[in-house]
């Protein structure tokens, strides 16, 4: 009996060693797979401990019944080219949403009837009621966005102007303001940016009108612009 008992103990010991060796080899194999996946930029496999922990976490969880719910898909972008361009700009791509017009004059002649005689910086697009100008002065439409071009070079102002007005049009911003300054910091005190901004605005079909801002909002150093909207 003692001999049989001794043989059983030896067998159990061998079995224990076998299990330990098997677990060791499995861990080594798993670690090799994990390192290989990480080296290739792939998601590493789950270990047996992770799998067991996951199953333990799900104990007592009851699946939801089918509610016949329809998953709502995101609405397609109405202007995907615009968002693609913005992404390229964020990534450093030298991409403009509008062509550069740094040296371009106004391409649309402004009729005398569209400008108040006492103010050459007031604009009213053709077909827009004259009461719009008085409403702009009264700030009937709240200013929803502002672009400050103080200290910008002509090249910088061109890029920032294009991005700003394009964003306003894309998001249906009705009324916005552009601060171009009074030219005190420029050579000979000439308002270079002011003339350019006015020229660019007159060249856009989406602009309904614009006027100089009230004194408490920048006066002749800024413009309040009204878009035609959708």
Name the DSSP class of 171. Answer: T
**Helix, strand, or coil here: 120?**
coil
Q: Given this model, what pLDDT does residue 5 score?
A: 61
Residue predicted with more confidence, 68 or 163: 163
Digit-coded pLDDT (tens) for 133-184: 999 999 999 999 999 988 888 888 888 999 999 899 988 899 999 998 876 5
Average pLDDT over residues 99-104: 45
Q: What is the pTM of this model?
A: 0.51
**Helix, strand, or coil here: 99?**
coil
Name the DSSP class of 64. Answer: P
Closest CA to 93 of 104, 101, 85: 85
Confidence of residue 75 (pLDDT cuts 50, 70, 90): low
Query: Using CA of residue 149, residue 155, residue 158, residue 159, what is the dihedral sign?
Result: negative
Beta strands 145-148 and 123-124 are unpaired
* Whole-number average pLDDT of the chain: 75
pLDDT at 225 over 90: yes
């Amino acid at each position: 009996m003692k001999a049989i008992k001794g043989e059983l103990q030896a067998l159990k010991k061998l079995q224990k060693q076998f299990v330990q060796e098997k677990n060791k080899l499995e861990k080594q194999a798993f670690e090799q797979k994990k390192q290989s996946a990480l080296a290739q930029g792939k998601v590493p496999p789950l270990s047996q401990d992770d799998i067991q922990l996951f199953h333990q976490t799900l104990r007592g969880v009851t699946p939801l019944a089918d509610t016949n719910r329809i998953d709502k898909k995101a609405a397609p972008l109405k202007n995907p080219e615009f968002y693609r361009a913005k992404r390229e700009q964020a990534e450093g791509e030298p991409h403009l949403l509008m062509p550069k017009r740094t040296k371009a004059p106004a391409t649309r002649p402004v009729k005398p009837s569209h400008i108040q005689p006492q103010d050459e910086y007031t604009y009213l697009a053709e077909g827009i009621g004259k009461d719009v100008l008085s409403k702009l002065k009264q700030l009937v439409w709240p200013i929803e966005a502002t672009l400050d071009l103080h200290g910008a070079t002509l090249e910088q102002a061109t890029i920032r102007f294009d991005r700003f007005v394009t964003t306003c049009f894309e998001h249906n911003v009705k009324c916005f303001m552009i601060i171009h300054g009074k030219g005190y910091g420029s050579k000979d005190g000439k308002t270079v940016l002011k003339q350019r901004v006015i020229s660019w605005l007159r060249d856009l079909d989406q602009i309904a009108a614009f006027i100089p801002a009230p004194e408490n909002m920048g006066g002749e150093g800024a413009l309040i612009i009204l878009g035609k909207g959708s």
